[in-house]
Amino acid sequence: MRCVTRSIPATSLAMTDAREPLLQLRSLGVTYHRDARVLRAVDGVDLELRERECLGVVGESGSGKSQLLLALLGLSAPGAQLRGSIRYRGEELLGAPRARLEAIRGRRIAIVFQDPLSALNPFLTIGTQLTEAARRALQLGRREALARAAELLSTVQIDAPAQRLRCYPHELSGGMRQRVLIAMALMCEPEILLLDEPTTALDVTVQAQVLDLLRTLRERSGVATLFVTHDLGALASMADRIAVMYAGRVVELASATALYGAPLHPYAAGLLRSLPRLDLPLPARLPSIPGQPPDLADLPAGCAFAPRCPLVHERCTQRPELRVLPDGRALACHFTGSTSAVDAAWTGT
């Protein structure tokens, strides 16, 4: 089994500063207008994806995590207004010509979507779909492209790859289809892999296998990965750093160890507490976060989490900015106590 190696042309290496993050979002905003109201789906997000790292973005519906991903790919819905900056190796992608975006998408930045069945065309064979983009982007001949596709299918642990290339999507199981999508994303040896809930639609045993596969691929190729999900369980074994999003903003950004071990934002802490877990004794009652996920059309002034927060205070009518704490993590909350204080506040509710 050959692993995927990344080849960056010498010219592009010479032109880029080695310290430049691969992907840099600055004050990214995605806004929609609906019935004379302004919906800020993404509201001033600053994030960096560095070489070789896996950055997790976790949030619930309305958090803006999917809108962020679509903006990165230049695939925001018609009517969306984008502001701020998205730089790929220093090059501005917001407002870049379509041809340039298309050259980068797929070739440099590839994505694996959540639902493998709707992401695949039911009328085309796996082989055709795997090779379509790569033949164009890499100027490969049919035979060459198919050989590479077969090689990648074995990289993603699909047996008898040559036969599978002739299969249609419905002939494969859900787990295999997700592997095919991962192989498809890797066809052009991208530098950045975007994962959009890649395991959500899968059974738990298959989910563990796909996560295992993604970890192995990352260890071998070092492909920088942005993993967007609502599943804190799946993210734990993958991400180096995690950004927690709520109502379009990043509320906490920390290393995975810091976030899972000692979350500081009341939302992050509340989310982690409310997960039922098999590795801990059964609680007498499952902790939960009261209230509803935020309605973007009707956000409170100030902190969007305030209506659900056990630590809510007068100052929360002022919007807390994301600022970096001495330990390196970033937090958007007026309360900067300890994890135990946040926990105590939740226990008191």
Partner 1 sequence: MSGTPIMLEVRDLRVQYRSRQAASQPAAFAVDGVSFSIDAGESVGLVGESGSGKSSIARSLLRLVPATGSVRFEQRELLSLRGSGLRAMRERMQVVFQDPLGALDPRMNVAELVAEPLREFRPAMREQHARQVLAMLARVGLGSEVLARFPHQLSGGQAQRVGLARALMLHPRLLICDEPVAALDVSIRSQIANLLRDMRAELGLALLFIAHDLPTVRYLCDRILVMFRGRLVEQASREALFGAPQHPYTRALLAANPVPDPARRPASPVPAAAAGGSAMTASAVKGGCPYRDRCPLAFARCAEEAPVIRQVGASLVSCHRAGE
Nearer to partner 1, 17 or 279 (CB): 279
Half-sphere exposure of 130 (CA within 13 A, CB side): 35
Among 292, 314, 340, 348, binds partner 1 (CB under 8 A): 292
Q: Which of residues 43-82 bind partner 1 (CB under 8 A)?
A: 60-61
Among 3, 8, 77, 204, binds partner 1 (CB under 8 A): 204
Nearer to partner 1, 88 or 246 (CB): 246
Q: Which helix (H) or strand (E) holds 324?
A: strand 323-324
Helix (H, G, I), strand (E, B) or coil at 332: coil
The answer to whether residues 56 and 242 touch, using CB atoms and an 8 Å cutoff, is yes
The answer to whether residues 234 and 151 touch, using CB atoms and an 8 Å cutoff, is no
β 23-34/54-58 pair status: unpaired
Helices marked H in 1-115: 10-15, 65-72, 98-104
Which candidate, 7, 20, 17, 220, places its Cα nearest to that of 107?
7
Q: Which part of the chain contacts partner 1 (CB under 8 A), choosing from 26-34, 46-54, 285-293, 324-332?
A: 285-293
Among 65, 105, 135, 179, binds partner 1 (CB under 8 A): 179
The answer to whether residues 126 and 191 touch, using CB atoms and an 8 Å cutoff, is no
Among 4, 22, 28, 158, binds partner 1 (CB under 8 A): 158
Q: Is residue 309 near partner 1 by the rule CB under 8 A?
A: no
Nearer to partner 1, 5 or 205 (CB): 205
Residues 6+ apart with CB under 8 A from 40: 29, 30, 31, 248, 296, 299
How many whole angstroms separate alpha carbon 344 and alpha carbon 349?
9
Among 211, 245, 247, 331, binds partner 1 (CB under 8 A): 211
Q: Minimum distance from CB of 317 to partner 1 (Å)?
A: 22
Among 47, 245, 256, 333, binds partner 1 (CB under 8 A): 256
Which candidate, 227, 249, 226, places its Cα nearest to that of 43?
249
Nearer to partner 1, 24 or 199 (CB): 199
β 330-331/224-229 pair status: unpaired
Q: Which part of the chain contacts partner 1 (CB under 8 A), choosing from 32-40, 67-75, 146-154, 167-175?
A: 167-175
Q: Is residue 319 near partner 1 by the rule CB under 8 A?
A: no
| DSSP 8-class letter at 170 | G
Among 1, 14, 99, 282, binds partner 1 (CB under 8 A): 282
Q: Minimum distance from CB of 274 to partner 1 (Å)?
A: 4
The site for partner 1 (CB under 8 A) is made up of 60-61, 157-159, 167, 170-176, 179, 203-209, 211-212, 230-234, 236-237, 239, 256-257, 260, 270-272, 274-279, 282-283, 285-290, 292-293, 295, 308
